[in-house]
């Protein structure tokens, strides 16, 4: 099914490493606010910023995981790595060469 909604983001954000890094930063930011909630410092700002950052991490993690198969496919031919059942098998020395 084609993805019809286009996010107004620069092209480099859709790269798996960039999107994964942004997701990790969102998790770090969410941890700071949710830790304040867990220690009893309950304020509205910590709730919406903490859960909003978690939602942002989810979105960027989804973007990163969506592009990984295409990124790997451009890096090397995948035809040797696909089994008869259609599963992707990555050899141990895939990223070393």
- Render pLDDT for 10-55 as a digit per residue (tens, 0 to 9): 888 888 899 999 999 999 999 999 999 999 989 999 999 999 999 9
Determine the pLDDT at residue 10. Answer: 85
Q: How many CA atoms lie within 13 A of 42 on its CB side?
A: 2
Query: So where are the chain's domains?
Result: 12-81
**What's the rounded Cα separation, in Å, for the pair 51 and 3?**
26
**What's the rounded Cα separation, in Å, for the pair 25 and 23?**
5
């Amino acid at each position: 099914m084609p993805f019809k909604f286009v996010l107004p983001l620069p092209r480099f954000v859709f790269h798996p490493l960039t999107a994964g890094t942004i997701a990790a930063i969102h998790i770090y930011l969410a941890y700071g606010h949710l830790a304040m909630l867990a220690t009893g410092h309950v304020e509205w700002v910590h709730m919406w910023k903490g859960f909003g950052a978690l939602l942002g991490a989810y979105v960027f993690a989804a973007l990163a995981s969506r592009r990984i198969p295409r990124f790997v496919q451009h890096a090397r031919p995948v035809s040797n790595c696909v089994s008869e059942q259609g599963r992707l098998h990555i050899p141990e020395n895939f990223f070393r060469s």
